[in-house]
Amino acid sequence: MLKTPEIPESLWVFGYGSLIWNPDFPVAERQIARATDWHRSFCMRSIHHRGSVEAPGLVLALDHAPGIICDGVALRVTPGAEEETLQTLRDRELISSAYLEATLPLTLTDGRKINALAYVIDPDHNQYCGNIPLAEQAQIIAHATGGRGRNRDYLFATADHLADLGIADPDLAWLSTQVRKL
């Protein structure tokens, strides 16, 4: 299922959340991409970036889900910046070890098949919280704040960028509407 990532000649990163709108690394190419057997969801309690230990927020993660697809953005790292990018991503994404670093096969909208670095949830980690009802997610997201800002801003930016790209995500659209009401 998951392969240990290596730095290939051409490093691609799969963005399904904040990496879409804030990659923090030099990008040479962006393509809409599809990962099969993965679901984007607010299934990780955030105790650093969008919440705290005392009041965790929620952040998106890829949760393994056979038969489900997740559309996002494949980001090709500018040649020569691969090692620096990998270190930046590890510092950002592996802050609490709730994500696992994996290489996933992706299909780009232009038909190319690539392998990309992705951060997927560790379902055995104590920050994993799959299957929280959407209404409860909205309540948490509306009120949580962490080191990178308000949880709701993370939701709004992700949902807005997905919509701008023409990527439908009914759960995020519903959550955005509900959180704005709260």
Other residues' Cβ atoms within 10 Å of the Cβ of residue 126:
11
- 129 with 35: CB under 8 angstroms? no
- The half-sphere exposure of 108 on its side-chain side, counting CA atoms within 13 A, is 16
- State which H helix or E strand residue 129 sits in: none
- 3-state SS class at 162: helix
Instruction: Just list the catalytic residues.
Output: 93
Strands 27-46 and 99-108: antiparallel
